[in-house]
Structure 1
Amino acid sequence: MITKTNDTLFTAREVFDTEIIELQRVKEKLSDDFEKAVNSIYSCTGKVIVTGIGKSGIIGHKIAASLASTGTHSFFMNSAEGLHGDLGMINENDIVLIISNSGNSPEVLQILPSIREIGAYIIAMTGGLNSSLAKNSDIVLDIGIEKEACPLNLAPTSSTTATLVMGDALTVALIKLRNFKAENFAVYHPGGSLGKRLLTKVSDVMHTGKDMPLIDENDRFDTIIYEISNKRLGMTCVMSNNKIVGIITDGDIRRQLLEKGELFNTTAKSIMTKNFKYISPENFAVDALRKMESANHKINCLPVIANSELIGVITVHDLLDFR
């Protein structure tokens, strides 16, 4: 029998409501132990090893990945694999973040004595505050919930969400503590569109040398039109004694034509924009796009200047991939 849409939506909303309520409960239980956990990870001279089994292990994978991508030396170890040699990856300078909702998962409890023997610091993420895991940990982060969203109150739902959000809270708190910036994030994400957005500099995409449209301030209208058309960037830089003194864009040309009609005896100096915006080659490409889009009047190009010298030109078309 096919479920009615209204019944399905009711169930979905019920799941959201239940998990939101449980997250609120976990939030209200945050204590000084959370701050201690963050500070211990921040000051750790070794690695952070996240471990768990089953659904907790799956969430642990994500937490370890989030920590690793934001400046914390972290990786995930399956608790069952820890029983068969992977504990060799842990040393006394490390922190082991152990995830178990009940705190009594057999695979977790079996590796606890060895972790203690190694001398690593243990942070437990558990809802079982009286469990063996909690009693054998240095810090306990309470992720205990009262109700799973599962109608049988069996399938991990609210509990895994609470674990995930607690891991996110650790990650974000550490991002702020480390003053982790977009350029730092980019180092760990060099691939794909995100890496491209965060790593590409103006110098990587600007037009240089013979590709730059250049005219002298005394050049007349026909030369201006030729240079803009020939270089196909919708603008030209205006030079005087090898220094940029202004820019002329397609828009400037159109406005002058509407206002004056005949321009063939007009010089570049008389129609150029003197107070133009520009950018440094060391700025990121996204900064150039932001600068163009935040201008009072929309602009589509920026001269690139270093040490008071014009070295390139960048246009909005060069930055379409960075929106």
Structure 2
Amino acid sequence: MFTQENIEKVMSKIEILRDVLNLEAKSIEIAASKLKSAEVELMEEVFNKLILSGGDIVFCGVGKSGLIGAKLASTFTSLGLRSFLLHPTEALHGDLGRVRESDVIVFLSKSGTTEEILKILPFLKVKKENRIGLLGAVDSPIGKECAVVFDCSVEKEACINNQAPTTSSTVSLAMGDALAVLFEHIVNLSKEGFAENHPGGFLGKSLRMKVQDLMSHKKDCAVVDSKATLKDVILEMTQRPLGACAVIDNNKFVGLIVEGDIRRCLSTGDGNLQVSVTNILNAKPSTVSRATLAFDALGLMENRERPLNVVPVVEGSEFYGLIRLHDLLKAGLSRKS
């Protein structure tokens, strides 16, 4: 039973969550208000030089900052710019060999005095003009070694002891994401370009996967000629159960028979197994080509009063196979995504 005391306890815990979210949201707003046009212009120059040089963008941080750096490296990589996380301790033990002079390095540090980062600075091939800081202290030893510093300082951490990186790591993450979107604008990244690096994701599938990637080919489909009977069709569809049978004469596609056509024929009083396929086939079914995007084929099949379960793949008058709704959904495509 809920008592007034229990309700008050639940509400107080809800307020804890709200306070954390509000604090972090407010901190991001403050960081946004501190942005200066000069910093953004310098960052644009850095990105343009990086694009021309073919260098990588390297993120460097320790602890939670390192984890944020790993996420940002993954984001930039997905946008087509090679990126990786450089752990400063590992850098001193060989990983500096991964960094080239043409690269850009982004340091993440709340204090701006991270000892592990300071230790690698004398050995970095990357010049100051290609060093970026996402720092909680702009005027700091690390900040002074960077050409561009984005102020990621926060008034306090959301942690009750003001210790665990919470607000500060969120602001660094948001600032890094903002830089990633700036890069997208600079290179004018299209959906198709993004999809090239996401072939397994929904966007990649919707923009790259074609009917030919998912269709059942002609040799695996039920096929008869126009002299066949309903019995012939049923036998063919039993051997190749894809839900439809193509009717072909002299390599020319004549029409399609689906399971619903068979049921309707047998349900009539004069329905019998010897009826000619010409009496039951659909001579003008909806069709797609092999090059049709799978996503568009899905739309053709779903966006109607009665969805189509199977569609013939036809080019000109030649039949190439069948594409099923089941195959499209199994591949992870959805018009609702």
Q: TM (normalized to structure 2)? A: 0.79
Q: Which amino acid aligns with 1:18?
A: L
CA distance in 1, matches of 2:40, 2:270: 73
CA distance in 1, matches of 2:65, 2:266: 69
Q: Supply the RMSD in Å over aligned alpha carbons.
A: 3.4
CA distance in 2, matches of 1:278, 1:308: 11
Aligned equivalent of 2:109: 100
Aligned equivalent of 1:316: 325
Aligned equivalent of 1:60: 69
Report the 3-state secondary structure (helix = DSSP H, G, I; strand = E; otherwise coil) of the residue aligned with 2:31: helix
How many pairs align?
Answer: 317
Q: How far does the alpha carbon of each residue in 1:292-314 deviate from its partner, in whole angstroms, 9 at most, with x for none?
A: 33345301112223565322212
Aligned equivalent of 2:139: 130
Q: How far does the alpha carbon of each residue in 1:103-138 deviate from its partner, in whole angstroms, 9 at most, with x for none?
A: 222222333344377567112112322223333322
1:209–1:312 CA contact under 8 A, matched in 2: yes
Q: How far does the alpha carbon of each residue in 1:51-89 deviate from its partner, in whole angstroms, 9 at most, with x for none?
A: 111211111111112222331111111123334443332
CA distance in 1, matches of 2:256, 2:35: 57
- Deviation of 1:285 after TM superposition, in Å, equals 4.8
Match of 1:20 among 12, 22, 25: 25
Aligned equivalent of 2:335: none
1:122–1:283 CA distance, 2 compared to 1 (3 A): farther
Aligned equivalent of 1:269: 278
Aligned equivalent of 1:249: 258
Aligned equivalent of 1:162: 171
1:119–1:125 CA distance, 2 compared to 1 (3 A): closer
CA distance in 1, matches of 2:150, 2:129: 17
1:1-323 matches, cutoff 5 A: 4-32=9-37, 33-34=39-40, 36-37=42-43, 40-41=46-47, 43=51, 44-115=53-124, 121-175=130-184, 177-179=188-190, 181=192, 183-186=195-198, 202-256=211-265, 260-264=268-272, 266-283=275-292, 285=294, 288-306=297-315, 309-323=318-332
1:7–1:119 CA distance, 2 compared to 1 (3 A): closer
Q: Which amino acid aligns with 2:189?
A: R
1:278–1:303 CA contact under 8 A, matched in 2: yes
Moved more, 117-126 or 66-75: 117-126
Moved more, 266-275 or 232-241: 266-275
Unpaired segments ≥5 residues, structure 2: 1-7, 333-337
1:93–1:120 CA contact under 8 A, matched in 2: no
2:256–2:283 CA contact under 8 A, matched in 1: yes
CA distance in 2, matches of 1:131, 1:261: 90
Report the 3-state secondary structure (helix = DSSP H, G, I; strand = E; otherwise coil) of the residue aligned with 1:68: helix
CA distance in 1, matches of 2:263, 2:96: 72
2:78–2:197 CA contact under 8 A, matched in 1: yes
Report the 3-state secondary structure (helix = DSSP H, G, I; strand = E; otherwise coil) of the residue aligned with 2:197: helix
Unpaired segments ≥5 residues, structure 1: none
Report the 3-state secondary structure (helix = DSSP H, G, I; strand = E; otherwise coil) of the residue aligned with 1:20: helix
CA distance in 2, matches of 1:20, 1:216: 67
CA distance in 1, matches of 2:76, 2:156: 28
CA distance in 1, matches of 2:129, 2:91: 14
Identity of aligned residues (%): 35
Q: TM (normalized to structure 1)? A: 0.82
Q: Which amino acid aligns with 2:43?
A: A
1:218–1:262 CA distance, 2 compared to 1 (3 A): same
- Deviation of 1:160 after TM superposition, in Å, equals 0.6
CA distance in 1, matches of 2:45, 2:164: 33
Report the 3-state secondary structure (helix = DSSP H, G, I; strand = E; otherwise coil) of the residue aligned with 1:237: strand
1:94–1:120 CA contact under 8 A, matched in 2: no
CA distance in 1, matches of 2:30, 2:260: 58
